[in-house]
Amino acid sequence: MSEVGSAPAVTLAQKLRSGAPVSGTFVKTTSGQIVELLARSGLDFLVLDAEHAPFGVEALDKALCAARAAGIDALVRVPSHDPAFINSCLDMGAAGIVAPHVKTAQDARSIADAVKYGRGKRGFSGSGRAGDYGAFAAAAYRASADASSMIWCQIEDKSALDNLDAIAAVEAIDCLFIGPADLGLSLGCAGTEDPRLSDAVAAIAEAGRRHDRIVGLFVPDTATVPSMLALGITVFICGSDQSLLLGRARQVTDTMKAAFPTD
């Protein structure tokens, strides 16, 4: 939220609503220093991966503190749709939630209930980082939180494809985020080149356009970005801190070995 703490002057939510393409990466290493380093890279956002990395509440708190101090928006990919955990992430200053395995409109509505105060079901506390430790007036904080806290629903199940319009029609949803690995597995695809996966990605992008929802995609690298932009996909999570570190280390190793004498 731009009104409190050291959040960015232009928030990620504002960038998305402008239609501008944005890029980020998953953070799987539970270290505030990693967050600080990535904030200096020019990325638009980070996603702390509490679904597939060992992020407990204390590690998330430290990482979100680092993100706030470094001036970069950080979302949390939660391990489930548990409203108590979602509420904790937002109280700690997460810019939003990436919710895995959203299969139905009811899933999306339940997640929205956990995120948005105005829906009457989220428990309130203004004493955390997001509420400027109680210095922000309660009513103003709730209004600001509802306006800025993002909900990204991961579409990564075959059954979700039958409910795309119903999911996308849930007003509180900001982004339909495509998880191609799990979606491909659910569809029985042999690999990323399977036309069934390509058709599913196109269908999700089309549903986003019909309902004026932002559409995002995980990509392992930047090669497919131009073709995905042509579909109207504007949010990209490219790899993770681990893959970026490993990729660069391998590149340095290959370059150094090529320069070594061979005799």
**Three-state secondary structure string covering 48-89:** EECCCCCCCHHHHHHHHHHHHHHCCEEEEECCCCCHHHHHHH
Q: Which pLDDT band, with edges at 50, 70 and 90, does 191 fall under?
A: confident
Task: Assign residue 40 the CATH number of its domain.
Answer: 3.20.20.60
In a domain, 174, yes or no: yes
Q: Give the pairing type, strands 45-49 and 22-27.
A: parallel
Known catalytic membership, residue 81: no
In a domain, 6, yes or no: no
Q: Indicate if the pLDDT at residue 2 is higher than 50.
A: no
Task: Write down the pLDDT at residue 5.
Answer: 43
Range of the domain at 99: 12-259
Average pLDDT over every residue of 60-70: 97
Rounded CA-CA distance 218/193 in Å is 15
Higher pLDDT, 152 or 9: 152
In a domain, 5, yes or no: no
Q: Which pLDDT band, with edges at 50, 70 and 90, does 8 fall under?
A: low
52, 81, 101, 211: the active-site residue: 52
In a domain, 1, yes or no: no
Enter the pTM of the model.
Answer: 0.94
In a domain, 3, yes or no: no
Percent of the chain with pLDDT over 70: 96
Using CB atoms within 10 Å of the CB of residue 76, give its burial: 0 to 12 exposed, 13 to 18 middle, 19+ buried. buried
Kindly state the tokens that stand for 89.
Answer: 């992430």
Q: Which pLDDT band, with edges at 50, 70 and 90, does 40 fall under?
A: very high
